[in-house]
Chains A and B, each alone.
Chain A
């Protein structure tokens, strides 16, 4: 399992670090030469300057969708810094992700208003329904869960977003219904992959 992300520094109580053995941490995803060239190009466009690390990571994630270990290693190599330092930055900012987001990325607002009005319960419900944690993606690549700081819709708290679509005043019971909306197309395929 890839180490998880923390969603927000003042929300630490909802994150429990998991114990992982080293084999499960070994990275198996392979990169195509094409992707490696893309990363090299991005690094070069920032002059391979280690001080531009955050910008390089930002641009790379925008292009590739996520930042798996191999990608970080190539960036470390190009910028002449250690992979540990790159990983340190990637895990520090909740914006960066090491797993591909799902086709329908779900974000739960963890701003104060939403939190007070039970965002945590919604998050729990989501985790239970999808059987994944924060920063993770379902095996069929359909859904992923992340947390957000305030999205500016406090009047609608608690707020949940699927892609760009905002759902307000969500109750834990609503979660299943919302998910159904996205499960319905290609329902058969979805079920097959779940097995």
Chain B
């Protein structure tokens, strides 16, 4: 590899040919400010349209300032990143951006986390010298996401996420000049587009243009209502990220503090979605074995590969893009919905509370769950199994509003019976985790033997598509894993073409899995944060005494007292679902 030597701020740097000035500067500890540029290292995700020009630097011998994020280094280049001319230009650029931006910071959902705001702060912008018309656009509210395009700075990160990483194609830059916006086809609302509500656009938007629908006030009202019993469930990934919002280093597990905070906020029962994850494994694992045995018995209609179904973003994607394959995913509901169904039947009966008097709140790393809990098939007489789904970010804000000294809370334990979980439930948050949890159970049920080593290292990792062969006592099981919907699409295209070699495939919509979900604390392009959350999840698993779903005593009791058999009659009624062809919802082609 050809190396190139150049000089940045009087430091000599040697980098590979083709490196940008931005990355070369980073190598010697010089941080050039950026806005449109974003890169998640090791994850193949980069946005560099070179459009905002906040990153301009002065290059000796060049007349114009150069945008560092897209300008490649050259031998002997002399770069200055903070001359008076550069600072002045950056200020002007930011002022121009703000001149067409609402001054909403005091009431903006993104305040404190907005990259435009922090750059304005950093550059000491105190006055906008440009007066002009501001572009205005209608606000678009969907079940999960709010688009407030007036706050869009056209960095096009969302477009990159939606098209390249997710291959959903819900968003594109449309129109030109002053009136250009990022929008769905024909400027329809997101709700009428193929959007999956994965929220990956929200997680990278630098401003308040894309945010989640906030349920905090509805939850607050439920907590104030004395006639309601409010139950909360928290997803595996939340405990690995919530601490970041309180200044703790990424990857700090705050399970106990989170439980204590929720209890003191007035939730009557603090439960764990991990319990429902264990339940998912019982159902999904049984389903996998059933289909496998059918195939081994030579049944021609054996539906393999089986696809995991616990990610509602992925389910939406499938319903929109692969309506011909709706028979192959597992019919098991997501853990969020399994929890709701059990809470409002089994548990409500146990404590003698009527369904209408129970409110189930979920705390999720996810925006698709907001949509999911509103789906009609998850309601009984109009009453949803899960009433409100909040994100990790919303919970953090709610804790702060509640004036709770989070960092000094003593650790507390989840309530029982729906709070007991195993390590298998915990690892649902990472890519590869669901299938690993399923294999821990399926192996023991199938072979009747105990696993020596519980960790399936071959299923772990961060490559977008992974595969592993597992030995089930002589039977070889081919497992596929995809995260990020572009990767899911590849595996699904294989299935469609009849070329898939897998028995089971795990799919998660978000790159990295739920730890990088659209509702998690903003990573601001720092993939190290995601790696630490991932490690934290595996640490939590290691620390559990029980690490296999079928050994969770409360799960066993639930089957004994209430459900009967996994995939039995009652399970089918409460824990399984059906999928719908949604491709028609977006297409408007009519024939005469």
Contacts and interface: CB of A to CB of B under 8 A. Distances in A.
Interface string B173-187: 111111100011111
Given A22-B192, A82-B172, A92-B176, A27 B187 contact: no
Interface string A1-33: 011001001101101010111100111001111
Interface stretch (A55-63, A67-75, A120-128, A181-189): A67-75
B185 A86 contact: yes
B188 A85 contact: no
A153 interface: no
A82 B192 CA distance: 14
Contacts of A73: 185, 587-589
A64 interface: no
Given A9-B176, A13-B133, A88-B173, A83 B185 contact: yes
A84 B169 contact: yes
A30 B177 contact: no
Given A19-B138, A86-B185, A36 B591 contact: yes
B585 to A, nearest CB: 12
Contacts, number: 106
B111 interface: no
Contacts of A3: 174-175, 186-187
Interface in B185-232: 185-189, 191-194
A20 B187 contact: yes
B197 to A, nearest CB: 16
Nearest to A22: B189
A166 B188 CA distance: 38
A71 B191 CA distance: 21
Interface in B291-309: none
Given A17-B136, A25-B186, A72-B185, A6 B591 contact: no
Contact of A31 (B183, B192, B591): B591
Contacts of B189: 22
Contact of A70 (B175, B179, B588): B588
B560 interface: no
A82 B163 contact: yes
Interface string A132-162: 0000000000000000000000000000000
B536 to A, nearest CB: 36
Contact of A6 (B133, B175, B194, B589): B175
Main secondary structure of the interface of A (DSSP, over half): helix
B562 interface: no
A12 B185 contact: no
A112 interface: no
A80 B179 CA distance: 27
A81 B163 CA distance: 9
B176 A6 contact: yes
Given A73-B587, A83-B185, A91-B176, A32 B592 contact: yes
A84 B156 CA distance: 14
B177 A12 contact: yes
Contacts of A36: 589, 591
A87 interface: yes
Q: With a 10 A CB-CB cut-off, give which of B136, B138, B172 has the most chain A CB atoms.
A: B172
Interface of B: 133, 135-138, 163, 168-179, 183-189, 191-194, 586-592
Interface of A: 2-3, 6, 9-10, 12-13, 15, 17, 19-22, 25-27, 30-33, 36, 69-70, 72-74, 76, 81-88, 91-92
